[in-house]
Structure 1
């Protein structure tokens, strides 16, 4: 499988946003309102749609769900613990760490869905959808917590006000209650979701300042190593521990090696953190997916 070709659309949109912002009249004054639109409307609609349309069969996939959530929790713990690592912690900026910890465990669900269908057909697509449905709520809460805590904001209030958390909780509740989006609304919702991906990635490119990555080399290397090396290794260990079958193992390994979510940038920027730095991490993670996906699905599998 050509992983570079799979990741090319996302990287191309980031590059397009960067070039448009730098070399046309569509500068930052244009892209800042776009970020607000994506954050408060487009991404929440996309999250709600993704979760509602991902059926969660707990009984048939209990081992996969347990393996995915446990490996995800370990990734979150590793990301949170970075300031306490003796060889890394002293080089970290606390605010940059709070904003970028999410890069280590969040994932690009749409690349995952495309990849699963190519690898294992309809069954693989369903298994990735299950992982997305159960992990998105946990990972979104884990992404908000360090930023709310470091800014000394009320965590519960931040969760209740955060549009991504609201959309996630609403989608999961609707899923568990068996509610679905009406057929007549699906085309509109689908187009909003597609627009959120394009605009979110272009907004990340418009904010991109790769030079900022050089000031946080230890932090950048650490969160990307967790995302693209530690997470696949943890997923491999969990697959063995829970005795997953071949298709479930493939789905879990693909899920663990995905590039980070493009929403990392929008969330950091809208919560008042260093958005350009996180945009650089999103770009590097997209490129590193070309290495981590073959590692997980070729070497480990």
Structure 2
């Protein structure tokens, strides 16, 4: 059964494009709707707020709570996920200190855009994980999201708060993704469950968050600021789309991951960066347009990096 599954997931590169087409077509629809119809930025700003503050936290909470998490059997998966995340954070933080690169990097721009190197688009993660391995894939990605979202949100806020001398703990306490994942993990570990009569409603809200989140990611894409900070942009995007998939591949081999866990980890390592990265940067007083341009390019690069990561031999 395991060999059959692996053949189905890793058969031919062309299958990866077909697998990802529904997600990227929604992103393309969002981009077209925002730019060529009356559904302009005024509409999508509200959609982003709805998804970010309500729909997506509900999806995260429900994904974590609905299935008991056996941390004992997921030890290697958690180690690999944390390894990928910590590698991305360490590499992103190190960029200004590299002698051949640091002199070409503006420290303020780096504080805002370092997050692009290690954060991940959870909307795409959940959609791809479901297509790769169904319900088992959703549980695997829920474990990774539950552990890595708080870590990566802390790591994203830290350099900006430190550079701007703003309230670091206050920024964390108000983050809806951290609140949803932390509360979901607590309830799961306590053995509590969502009442059956609430599950259909939560499931439909979660499905809405996936579709609207992908549309909003497309609507938020911007191409205007890609000509500035080229060295920094190339560096953070190389970490996100080339180095981290290779790190995940090494960890899969080292820790003996296989089946759904390996497939989802590889996808997790190669998805585009979080579409909310530019919102976070703008709200903290940084150049949101530059970060949005990096998010845009990362979204496009995901079309290449996801098939690359999923096709690495194991």
Q: TM-score, length-normalised on structure 2?
A: 0.82
Paired with 1:98 and 1:238, the residues of 2 have a C-alpha distance of 28
Q: Any idea what SS the aligned residue of 1:2 has?
A: helix
- In the alignment, does 2:183 pair up with 1:170? yes
- In the alignment, does 2:127 pair up with 1:104? no
Stretches of structure 1 that go unaligned for 5 or more consecutive residues are: none
Contact kept in structure 1, 2:221 and 2:295, CA below 8 Å: no
**Candidates 86, 89, 98, aligned match of 1:85:** 98
Paired with 1:3 and 1:265, the residues of 2 have a C-alpha distance of 28
- Offset from partner CA, 1:93-138 (integer Å, 9 cap, x none): 3343233222222223454445445555665554333323322222
Stretches of structure 2 that go unaligned for 5 or more consecutive residues are: 1-13
Single out whichever of 74-83 and 234-243 deviates more from structure 2: 234-243
Shift of 1:215: 0.9
Q: Any idea what SS the aligned residue of 1:47 has?
A: helix
Shift of 1:73: 0.7
What is the count of residue pairs matched by the alignment? 301
- In the alignment, does 2:136 pair up with 1:128? no
Contact kept in structure 2, 1:7 and 1:286, CA below 8 Å: no
Paired with 2:283 and 2:67, the residues of 1 have a C-alpha distance of 28
Q: 1:134-145, aligned counterparts within 5 Å?
A: 134-145=147-158
- Offset from partner CA, 1:205-243 (integer Å, 9 cap, x none): 444321211212222211111111111111122233334
Q: TM-score, length-normalised on structure 1?
A: 0.85
Residue 254 of structure 2 is matched in structure 1 by: 241
Contact kept in structure 1, 2:92 and 2:236, CA below 8 Å: yes
Residue 266 of structure 2 is matched in structure 1 by: 253
Contact kept in structure 2, 1:39 and 1:270, CA below 8 Å: no
Paired with 1:7 and 1:269, the residues of 2 have a C-alpha distance of 29
Residue 214 of structure 1 is matched in structure 2 by: 227
Residue 22 of structure 1 is matched in structure 2 by: 35
Residue 229 of structure 1 is matched in structure 2 by: 242
Residues 1:201 and 1:148: Cα distance change in structure 2 (over 3 Å): farther
Paired with 2:210 and 2:285, the residues of 1 have a C-alpha distance of 21
Q: Any idea what SS the aligned residue of 2:165 has?
A: coil
Shift of 1:143: 2.2
Contact kept in structure 2, 1:42 and 1:192, CA below 8 Å: yes
Paired with 2:217 and 2:106, the residues of 1 have a C-alpha distance of 21
Residue 302 of structure 2 is matched in structure 1 by: 289
Q: Any idea what SS the aligned residue of 2:191 has?
A: coil
Contact kept in structure 2, 1:17 and 1:206, CA below 8 Å: yes
Residue 56 of structure 1 is matched in structure 2 by: 69
- Offset from partner CA, 1:168-191 (integer Å, 9 cap, x none): 221221222222322222233233
- Offset from partner CA, 1:248-284 (integer Å, 9 cap, x none): 4444323222222333344334444433433333332
Residues 1:43 and 1:204: Cα distance change in structure 2 (over 3 Å): same
- Offset from partner CA, 1:39-62 (integer Å, 9 cap, x none): 332332233223323542111121
Paired with 1:104 and 1:53, the residues of 2 have a C-alpha distance of 31
Residues 1:153 and 1:14: Cα distance change in structure 2 (over 3 Å): same
Residues 1:166 and 1:81: Cα distance change in structure 2 (over 3 Å): same
